[in-house]
Structure 1
Protein backbone atom coordinates (compact mmCIF):
# COMPACT_ATOMS: atom_id res chain seq x y z
CA UNK A 1 0.00 0.00 0.00
CA UNK A 2 1.24 3.43 -0.82
CA UNK A 3 2.72 5.44 2.04
CA UNK A 4 0.58 8.35 0.89
CA UNK A 5 -2.58 6.35 1.40
CA UNK A 6 -1.47 5.27 4.88
CA UNK A 7 -0.83 8.77 6.12
CA UNK A 8 -3.61 10.11 8.37
CA UNK A 9 -5.80 12.80 6.84
CA UNK A 10 -4.84 16.28 7.94
CA UNK A 11 -7.28 17.66 10.47
CA UNK A 12 -9.16 20.78 9.43
CA UNK A 13 -9.05 23.72 11.84
CA UNK A 14 -12.13 24.08 13.96
CA UNK A 15 -12.69 27.69 12.93
CA UNK A 16 -11.64 29.81 9.99
CA UNK A 17 -9.71 33.01 10.38
CA UNK A 18 -12.05 36.00 10.25
CA UNK A 19 -11.89 38.15 7.17
CA UNK A 20 -9.67 41.19 7.64
CA UNK A 21 -11.97 44.18 8.01
CA UNK A 22 -9.61 47.11 8.57
CA UNK A 23 -7.00 48.82 6.41
CA UNK A 24 -5.06 49.53 9.64
CA UNK A 25 -4.11 52.99 8.42
CA UNK A 26 -4.17 56.10 10.60
CA UNK A 27 -6.12 58.02 7.94
CA UNK A 28 -9.67 59.38 8.09
CA UNK A 29 -10.51 58.12 4.59
CA UNK A 30 -9.23 54.63 5.43
CA UNK A 31 -11.22 54.60 8.68
CA UNK A 32 -14.36 55.66 6.78
CA UNK A 33 -13.86 52.86 4.26
CA UNK A 34 -13.43 50.39 7.11
CA UNK A 35 -17.08 51.20 7.90
CA UNK A 36 -18.75 51.85 4.54
CA UNK A 37 -16.33 50.40 1.99
CA UNK A 38 -18.00 47.00 1.67
CA UNK A 39 -20.08 46.34 -1.44
CA UNK A 40 -23.75 47.37 -0.99
CA UNK A 41 -23.29 49.34 2.24
CA UNK A 42 -23.55 52.82 0.71
CA UNK A 43 -26.49 51.76 -1.44
CA UNK A 44 -28.31 50.57 1.69
CA UNK A 45 -27.61 54.00 3.17
CA UNK A 46 -29.06 55.57 0.00
CA UNK A 47 -32.28 53.60 0.55
CA UNK A 48 -32.54 54.45 4.24
CA UNK A 49 -31.91 58.16 3.68
CA UNK A 50 -35.46 58.28 2.30
CA UNK A 51 -36.85 56.95 5.58
CA UNK A 52 -37.22 53.77 7.66
CA UNK A 53 -37.68 50.59 5.64
CA UNK A 54 -38.54 46.97 6.21
CA UNK A 55 -36.05 44.29 5.26
CA UNK A 56 -38.31 43.05 2.44
CA UNK A 57 -38.61 46.58 1.00
CA UNK A 58 -34.85 47.03 1.07
CA UNK A 59 -34.36 43.72 -0.71
CA UNK A 60 -36.91 44.68 -3.38
CA UNK A 61 -35.23 48.02 -4.10
CA UNK A 62 -31.68 46.64 -4.17
CA UNK A 63 -31.83 44.33 -7.21
CA UNK A 64 -28.91 41.93 -7.25
CA UNK A 65 -28.19 41.73 -3.53
CA UNK A 66 -28.57 38.31 -1.92
CA UNK A 67 -30.55 37.90 1.28
CA UNK A 68 -27.42 36.73 3.12
CA UNK A 69 -25.36 39.74 2.04
CA UNK A 70 -28.13 42.20 2.86
CA UNK A 71 -28.59 40.71 6.33
CA UNK A 72 -24.82 40.79 6.90
CA UNK A 73 -24.49 44.42 5.80
CA UNK A 74 -27.40 45.52 7.98
CA UNK A 75 -25.85 43.75 10.96
CA UNK A 76 -22.52 45.47 10.29
CA UNK A 77 -24.29 48.84 10.00
CA UNK A 78 -25.95 48.28 13.37
CA UNK A 79 -22.64 47.31 14.99
CA UNK A 80 -20.91 50.36 13.48
CA UNK A 81 -23.59 52.77 14.69
CA UNK A 82 -24.95 53.64 11.22
CA UNK A 83 -28.41 52.09 11.59
CA UNK A 84 -30.81 50.73 14.15
CA UNK A 85 -33.63 48.23 13.98
CA UNK A 86 -36.88 49.01 15.76
CA UNK A 87 -40.34 47.52 16.02
CA UNK A 88 -43.25 49.58 14.74
CA UNK A 89 -46.23 49.87 17.09
CA UNK A 90 -49.54 48.13 16.28
CA UNK A 91 -51.28 47.79 13.93
CA UNK A 92 -48.11 47.73 11.78
CA UNK A 93 -46.32 45.14 13.95
CA UNK A 94 -43.29 45.11 11.68
CA UNK A 95 -39.58 45.77 12.15
CA UNK A 96 -37.86 48.53 10.21
CA UNK A 97 -34.30 49.71 9.79
CA UNK A 98 -33.46 53.39 10.02
CA UNK A 99 -30.30 55.45 10.01
CA UNK A 100 -28.74 56.98 13.08
CA UNK A 101 -27.41 60.54 13.06
CA UNK A 102 -24.04 59.18 12.01
CA UNK A 103 -25.62 57.27 9.16
CA UNK A 104 -27.59 60.32 8.00
CA UNK A 105 -24.32 62.24 7.96
CA UNK A 106 -23.46 60.30 4.80
CA UNK A 107 -26.00 62.29 2.75
CA UNK A 108 -23.45 64.86 1.46
CA UNK A 109 -21.04 62.00 0.74
CA UNK A 110 -23.60 60.23 -1.44
CA UNK A 111 -24.67 63.49 -3.09
CA UNK A 112 -21.06 64.21 -4.05
CA UNK A 113 -20.56 60.63 -5.19
CA UNK A 114 -23.66 60.82 -7.40
CA UNK A 115 -22.37 64.06 -8.94
CA UNK A 116 -18.97 62.48 -9.59
CA UNK A 117 -20.56 59.38 -11.14
CA UNK A 118 -23.15 61.16 -13.31
CA UNK A 119 -20.98 61.20 -16.48
CA UNK A 120 -20.93 57.38 -16.38
CA UNK A 121 -24.71 57.34 -16.99
CA UNK A 122 -24.51 58.62 -20.55
CA UNK A 123 -26.15 55.41 -21.76
CA UNK A 124 -28.47 53.07 -19.88
CA UNK A 125 -27.51 49.42 -20.22
CA UNK A 126 -30.20 46.80 -20.93
CA UNK A 127 -29.42 45.10 -17.60
CA UNK A 128 -29.69 48.29 -15.53
CA UNK A 129 -32.46 48.38 -12.92
CA UNK A 130 -33.98 51.75 -12.08
CA UNK A 131 -36.09 53.21 -9.29
CA UNK A 132 -37.52 56.71 -9.31
CA UNK A 133 -36.13 57.72 -5.93
CA UNK A 134 -32.57 57.01 -7.11
CA UNK A 135 -32.79 60.34 -8.95
CA UNK A 136 -33.31 62.23 -5.69
CA UNK A 137 -29.56 62.52 -5.06
CA UNK A 138 -28.73 64.41 -8.27
CA UNK A 139 -31.82 66.61 -7.90
CA UNK A 140 -30.86 67.67 -4.38
CA UNK A 141 -28.06 69.71 -5.94
CA UNK A 142 -30.48 71.34 -8.37
CA UNK A 143 -32.97 72.53 -5.74
CA UNK A 144 -30.38 74.10 -3.45
CA UNK A 145 -31.18 77.75 -2.99
CA UNK A 146 -34.96 77.34 -3.28
CA UNK A 147 -37.17 78.57 -0.49
CA UNK A 148 -38.51 76.17 2.16
CA UNK A 149 -41.09 73.62 1.12
CA UNK A 150 -41.80 70.16 -0.22
CA UNK A 151 -41.20 69.40 -3.89
CA UNK A 152 -42.95 66.40 -5.39
CA UNK A 153 -41.15 64.97 -8.43
CA UNK A 154 -42.99 62.93 -11.07
CA UNK A 155 -41.04 60.78 -13.50
CA UNK A 156 -42.17 58.04 -15.86
CA UNK A 157 -40.40 55.67 -13.44
CA UNK A 158 -42.42 56.83 -10.43
CA UNK A 159 -42.59 59.59 -7.83
CA UNK A 160 -40.55 60.84 -4.90
CA UNK A 161 -40.28 64.09 -2.98
CA UNK A 162 -37.61 66.49 -1.76
CA UNK A 163 -37.47 68.96 1.11
CA UNK A 164 -35.99 72.35 0.28
CA UNK A 165 -34.81 75.33 2.27
CA UNK A 166 -31.74 76.36 4.25
CA UNK A 167 -32.54 74.30 7.35
CA UNK A 168 -33.75 70.95 6.02
CA UNK A 169 -32.82 68.17 8.46
CA UNK A 170 -30.77 65.38 6.91
CA UNK A 171 -33.28 62.72 7.95
CA UNK A 172 -36.00 64.20 5.71
CA UNK A 173 -34.07 65.53 2.70
CA UNK A 174 -35.98 63.17 0.38
CA UNK A 175 -38.57 60.45 0.59
CA UNK A 176 -40.39 57.74 -1.34
CA UNK A 177 -43.55 58.31 -3.33
CA UNK A 178 -45.78 61.37 -3.56
CA UNK A 179 -45.98 63.86 -0.71
CA UNK A 180 -49.46 64.66 0.68
CA UNK A 181 -48.17 68.05 1.83
CA UNK A 182 -46.38 68.97 -1.42
CA UNK A 183 -46.04 72.69 -2.11
CA UNK A 184 -45.22 72.14 -5.76
CA UNK A 185 -45.09 69.24 -8.21
CA UNK A 186 -42.48 69.00 -10.95
CA UNK A 187 -42.95 66.79 -14.01
CA UNK A 188 -39.77 65.93 -15.90
CA UNK A 189 -37.82 62.94 -17.18
CA UNK A 190 -34.92 60.93 -15.79
CA UNK A 191 -32.47 62.25 -18.37
CA UNK A 192 -33.12 65.80 -17.24
CA UNK A 193 -32.64 64.77 -13.59
CA UNK A 194 -29.17 63.55 -14.51
CA UNK A 195 -28.40 66.68 -16.51
CA UNK A 196 -29.41 68.84 -13.55
CA UNK A 197 -27.28 66.79 -11.20
CA UNK A 198 -24.32 67.03 -13.56
CA UNK A 199 -24.68 70.83 -13.78
CA UNK A 200 -25.37 70.65 -17.52
CA UNK A 201 -28.23 73.08 -16.90
CA UNK A 202 -29.99 74.74 -13.98
CA UNK A 203 -33.51 74.14 -12.75
CA UNK A 204 -34.40 77.71 -13.71
CA UNK A 205 -33.23 77.11 -17.29
CA UNK A 206 -35.14 73.82 -17.51
CA UNK A 207 -38.34 75.51 -16.29
CA UNK A 208 -37.85 78.41 -18.69
CA UNK A 209 -37.47 76.21 -21.77
CA UNK A 210 -40.41 73.99 -20.86
CA UNK A 211 -38.56 70.81 -19.96
CA UNK A 212 -40.01 70.97 -16.43
CA UNK A 213 -43.73 71.38 -15.81
CA UNK A 214 -44.59 73.23 -12.59
CA UNK A 215 -47.89 72.50 -10.80
CA UNK A 216 -49.11 74.16 -7.62
CA UNK A 217 -50.21 77.51 -6.21
CA UNK A 218 -47.75 77.96 -3.34
CA UNK A 219 -45.03 80.54 -2.86
CA UNK A 220 -42.50 77.90 -3.87
CA UNK A 221 -44.43 77.17 -7.08
CA UNK A 222 -44.52 80.87 -7.92
CA UNK A 223 -40.80 81.11 -7.24
CA UNK A 224 -40.21 78.45 -9.89
CA UNK A 225 -42.72 79.95 -12.33
CA UNK A 226 -40.87 83.24 -12.14
CA UNK A 227 -38.39 81.69 -14.57
CA UNK A 228 -41.03 81.13 -17.25
CA UNK A 229 -40.80 83.49 -20.21
CA UNK A 230 -43.43 86.18 -20.06
CA UNK A 231 -45.64 86.91 -23.03
CA UNK A 232 -44.85 90.12 -24.86
CA UNK A 233 -47.45 92.82 -24.27
CA UNK A 234 -49.95 93.31 -27.07
CA UNK A 235 -49.63 96.76 -28.64
CA UNK A 236 -52.31 98.49 -30.67
CA UNK A 237 -51.73 100.85 -33.51
Structure 2
Protein backbone atom coordinates (compact mmCIF):
# COMPACT_ATOMS: atom_id res chain seq x y z
CA UNK A 1 0.00 0.00 0.00
CA UNK A 2 1.51 3.30 -1.08
CA UNK A 3 1.50 6.26 1.31
CA UNK A 4 -1.22 8.70 0.41
CA UNK A 5 0.08 11.75 -1.39
CA UNK A 6 -1.58 15.07 -0.74
CA UNK A 7 -1.83 18.42 -2.44
CA UNK A 8 -1.76 19.90 1.06
CA UNK A 9 -4.44 22.39 0.13
CA UNK A 10 -7.42 23.25 2.33
CA UNK A 11 -9.91 22.78 -0.50
CA UNK A 12 -12.55 20.06 -0.87
CA UNK A 13 -11.66 19.49 -4.54
CA UNK A 14 -8.00 19.04 -3.64
CA UNK A 15 -8.91 16.69 -0.79
CA UNK A 16 -11.10 14.65 -3.15
CA UNK A 17 -8.23 14.37 -5.63
CA UNK A 18 -5.97 13.22 -2.80
CA UNK A 19 -8.25 10.14 -2.65
CA UNK A 20 -9.36 9.52 -6.25
CA UNK A 21 -6.89 11.50 -8.36
CA UNK A 22 -4.45 8.67 -9.01
CA UNK A 23 -4.46 7.05 -12.45
CA UNK A 24 -6.95 4.15 -12.73
CA UNK A 25 -8.84 4.78 -9.47
CA UNK A 26 -12.00 6.23 -11.03
CA UNK A 27 -11.99 3.57 -13.75
CA UNK A 28 -11.87 0.89 -11.07
CA UNK A 29 -14.88 2.60 -9.49
CA UNK A 30 -16.61 2.45 -12.90
CA UNK A 31 -16.07 -1.31 -12.99
CA UNK A 32 -17.18 -1.85 -9.40
CA UNK A 33 -20.44 0.01 -10.04
CA UNK A 34 -21.43 -3.32 -11.61
CA UNK A 35 -21.30 -4.95 -8.17
CA UNK A 36 -18.77 -7.34 -6.64
CA UNK A 37 -15.93 -8.20 -9.03
CA UNK A 38 -13.04 -10.64 -8.82
CA UNK A 39 -9.53 -9.30 -9.28
CA UNK A 40 -9.11 -11.30 -12.52
CA UNK A 41 -12.32 -9.84 -13.95
CA UNK A 42 -11.25 -6.31 -13.04
CA UNK A 43 -7.89 -6.85 -14.71
CA UNK A 44 -9.56 -8.19 -17.86
CA UNK A 45 -11.87 -5.16 -18.13
CA UNK A 46 -9.14 -2.58 -17.46
CA UNK A 47 -6.83 -3.18 -20.44
CA UNK A 48 -3.51 -1.43 -19.98
CA UNK A 49 -3.28 -1.59 -16.19
CA UNK A 50 -0.46 -3.66 -14.74
CA UNK A 51 -1.16 -6.24 -12.06
CA UNK A 52 1.00 -4.34 -9.56
CA UNK A 53 -0.78 -1.04 -10.15
CA UNK A 54 -4.23 -2.63 -9.95
CA UNK A 55 -3.38 -4.42 -6.71
CA UNK A 56 -1.95 -1.20 -5.27
CA UNK A 57 -4.98 0.89 -6.25
CA UNK A 58 -7.37 -1.66 -4.73
CA UNK A 59 -5.44 -1.61 -1.46
CA UNK A 60 -5.50 2.19 -1.48
CA UNK A 61 -9.25 2.13 -2.09
CA UNK A 62 -9.73 -0.22 0.86
CA UNK A 63 -7.63 2.05 3.07
CA UNK A 64 -9.59 5.12 2.01
CA UNK A 65 -12.97 3.49 2.58
CA UNK A 66 -14.01 3.34 -1.09
CA UNK A 67 -14.02 -0.45 -1.48
CA UNK A 68 -13.98 -3.62 0.57
CA UNK A 69 -12.67 -7.13 -0.10
CA UNK A 70 -14.55 -10.24 0.99
CA UNK A 71 -14.56 -13.95 0.33
CA UNK A 72 -17.56 -15.50 -1.40
CA UNK A 73 -19.13 -18.52 0.29
CA UNK A 74 -18.66 -21.99 -1.27
CA UNK A 75 -18.81 -23.11 -4.00
CA UNK A 76 -17.43 -19.76 -5.23
CA UNK A 77 -14.81 -19.33 -2.49
CA UNK A 78 -13.18 -16.48 -4.43
CA UNK A 79 -12.34 -13.03 -3.16
CA UNK A 80 -14.29 -10.12 -4.61
CA UNK A 81 -14.03 -6.36 -4.34
CA UNK A 82 -17.06 -4.12 -4.00
CA UNK A 83 -17.78 -0.47 -3.40
CA UNK A 84 -18.74 0.93 -0.04
CA UNK A 85 -21.49 3.55 0.21
CA UNK A 86 -18.71 6.14 0.07
CA UNK A 87 -17.42 4.58 -3.14
CA UNK A 88 -20.91 4.47 -4.64
CA UNK A 89 -21.16 8.17 -3.91
CA UNK A 90 -18.75 8.68 -6.81
CA UNK A 91 -21.46 7.72 -9.36
CA UNK A 92 -22.60 11.32 -9.96
CA UNK A 93 -18.93 12.35 -10.18
CA UNK A 94 -18.33 9.78 -12.93
CA UNK A 95 -21.54 10.79 -14.69
CA UNK A 96 -20.55 14.45 -14.64
CA UNK A 97 -17.04 13.58 -15.83
CA UNK A 98 -18.50 11.45 -18.62
CA UNK A 99 -20.76 14.28 -19.74
CA UNK A 100 -17.83 16.69 -19.72
CA UNK A 101 -15.73 14.25 -21.72
CA UNK A 102 -18.30 13.50 -24.43
CA UNK A 103 -16.64 15.92 -26.84
CA UNK A 104 -13.29 14.18 -26.28
CA UNK A 105 -14.43 10.83 -27.69
CA UNK A 106 -14.16 11.65 -31.38
CA UNK A 107 -13.68 8.70 -33.71
CA UNK A 108 -12.59 5.42 -32.19
CA UNK A 109 -8.85 4.90 -32.67
CA UNK A 110 -7.39 1.54 -33.76
CA UNK A 111 -5.69 1.22 -30.36
CA UNK A 112 -8.88 1.94 -28.37
CA UNK A 113 -10.25 -0.98 -26.37
CA UNK A 114 -14.01 -1.20 -25.88
CA UNK A 115 -16.33 -3.20 -23.66
CA UNK A 116 -20.09 -3.22 -24.11
CA UNK A 117 -20.71 -2.23 -20.49
CA UNK A 118 -18.65 0.94 -20.90
CA UNK A 119 -21.78 2.33 -22.60
CA UNK A 120 -23.82 1.66 -19.45
CA UNK A 121 -23.27 5.03 -17.76
CA UNK A 122 -23.95 7.13 -20.90
CA UNK A 123 -27.23 5.25 -21.50
CA UNK A 124 -28.16 5.48 -17.84
CA UNK A 125 -27.96 9.27 -18.07
CA UNK A 126 -30.79 9.20 -20.61
CA UNK A 127 -33.20 7.12 -18.51
CA UNK A 128 -35.55 8.26 -15.77
CA UNK A 129 -37.66 6.37 -13.26
CA UNK A 130 -36.88 3.00 -11.72
CA UNK A 131 -36.53 -0.47 -13.14
CA UNK A 132 -34.38 -3.06 -14.86
CA UNK A 133 -33.36 -2.45 -18.48
CA UNK A 134 -31.65 -4.99 -20.72
CA UNK A 135 -29.44 -3.56 -23.47
CA UNK A 136 -28.30 -5.39 -26.58
CA UNK A 137 -25.42 -3.98 -28.63
CA UNK A 138 -23.27 -5.44 -31.35
CA UNK A 139 -20.38 -5.52 -28.83
CA UNK A 140 -22.39 -7.49 -26.28
CA UNK A 141 -25.17 -7.31 -23.75
CA UNK A 142 -25.57 -5.70 -20.34
CA UNK A 143 -28.32 -4.54 -18.05
CA UNK A 144 -29.02 -1.33 -16.14
CA UNK A 145 -30.63 -0.78 -12.76
CA UNK A 146 -32.32 2.56 -13.38
CA UNK A 147 -32.85 4.63 -10.24
CA UNK A 148 -30.97 2.15 -8.03
CA UNK A 149 -30.04 3.64 -4.66
CA UNK A 150 -28.22 0.57 -3.37
CA UNK A 151 -26.45 -2.32 -5.04
CA UNK A 152 -25.15 -2.50 -8.60
CA UNK A 153 -25.86 0.21 -11.17
CA UNK A 154 -25.35 -2.14 -14.12
CA UNK A 155 -24.20 -5.67 -14.88
CA UNK A 156 -22.75 -7.71 -17.75
CA UNK A 157 -24.89 -10.07 -19.77
CA UNK A 158 -28.63 -10.59 -19.92
CA UNK A 159 -30.86 -9.30 -17.14
CA UNK A 160 -31.12 -11.70 -14.18
CA UNK A 161 -34.93 -11.53 -14.31
CA UNK A 162 -37.62 -10.28 -16.67
CA UNK A 163 -36.60 -6.69 -17.44
CA UNK A 164 -38.93 -3.70 -17.43
CA UNK A 165 -37.58 -2.77 -20.86
CA UNK A 166 -35.29 -4.12 -23.55
CA UNK A 167 -33.24 -1.80 -25.74
CA UNK A 168 -31.58 -2.90 -28.97
CA UNK A 169 -29.36 -0.44 -30.85
CA UNK A 170 -26.44 -0.49 -33.21
CA UNK A 171 -22.92 0.71 -32.53
CA UNK A 172 -23.33 3.99 -34.42
CA UNK A 173 -26.39 4.97 -32.41
CA UNK A 174 -24.83 4.01 -29.09
CA UNK A 175 -21.66 5.89 -29.98
CA UNK A 176 -23.68 8.99 -30.90
CA UNK A 177 -25.42 8.83 -27.51
CA UNK A 178 -22.09 8.39 -25.72
CA UNK A 179 -20.65 11.41 -27.56
CA UNK A 180 -23.63 13.55 -26.60
CA UNK A 181 -24.58 13.99 -30.26
CA UNK A 182 -27.91 12.21 -29.84
CA UNK A 183 -30.18 11.94 -26.81
CA UNK A 184 -31.52 8.50 -25.96
CA UNK A 185 -35.14 9.66 -26.20
CA UNK A 186 -34.42 11.28 -29.57
CA UNK A 187 -32.88 8.00 -30.74
CA UNK A 188 -36.04 6.14 -29.67
CA UNK A 189 -38.26 8.66 -31.47
CA UNK A 190 -36.11 8.29 -34.61
CA UNK A 191 -36.57 4.50 -34.35
CA UNK A 192 -32.84 4.02 -34.01
CA UNK A 193 -33.50 2.16 -30.75
CA UNK A 194 -35.85 -0.81 -30.65
CA UNK A 195 -37.79 -0.86 -27.37
CA UNK A 196 -39.23 -4.12 -26.08
CA UNK A 197 -40.96 -5.14 -22.89
CA UNK A 198 -44.22 -4.25 -21.17
CA UNK A 199 -42.92 -2.58 -18.01
CA UNK A 200 -43.43 1.04 -17.02
CA UNK A 201 -40.04 2.06 -18.42
CA UNK A 202 -40.71 0.46 -21.79
CA UNK A 203 -44.09 2.15 -22.09
CA UNK A 204 -42.64 5.53 -21.08
CA UNK A 205 -39.91 5.23 -23.72
CA UNK A 206 -42.34 4.29 -26.46
CA UNK A 207 -44.62 7.19 -25.53
CA UNK A 208 -41.81 9.76 -25.22
| TM > 0.5 | yes
1:176 and 2:176 aligned: no
Offset, 1:195: 3.0
Matches within 5 A, 1:42-81: 42-81=26-65
Contact 1:111 1:140 survives alignment (8 Å): no
How far apart in 1 are the matches of 2:183 and 2:25? 31
1:160 and 2:133 aligned: no
Matches within 5 A, 1:12-161: 21-143=5-127, 145=128, 147-161=129-143
1:187 and 2:168 aligned: yes
Contact 1:118 1:194 survives alignment (8 Å): no
How far apart in 2 are the matches of 1:222 and 1:191? 24
- Secondary structure (helix, strand or coil) at the match of 1:163 reads strand
Offset, 1:162: 1.2
- Secondary structure (helix, strand or coil) at the match of 1:97 reads strand
How far apart in 2 are the matches of 1:79 and 1:105? 16
- Secondary structure (helix, strand or coil) at the match of 1:30 reads helix
Offset, 1:208: 1.7
Larger Rg: 1
1:61-94: CA deviations, max 9, x gaps? Answer: 0001000000000010001111000000011010
How far apart in 2 are the matches of 1:28 and 1:185? 40
How far apart in 1 are the matches of 2:170 and 2:89? 29
1:198-217: CA deviations, max 9, x gaps? Answer: 54333222112110001112
How far apart in 2 are the matches of 1:176 and 1:148? 19
How far apart in 2 are the matches of 1:103 and 1:42? 10
Gaps of 5+ in 2: none
How far apart in 1 are the matches of 2:184 and 2:198? 18
- Secondary structure (helix, strand or coil) at the match of 2:101 reads helix
Provide the aligned length of Structure 1 versus Structure 2.
Answer: 206
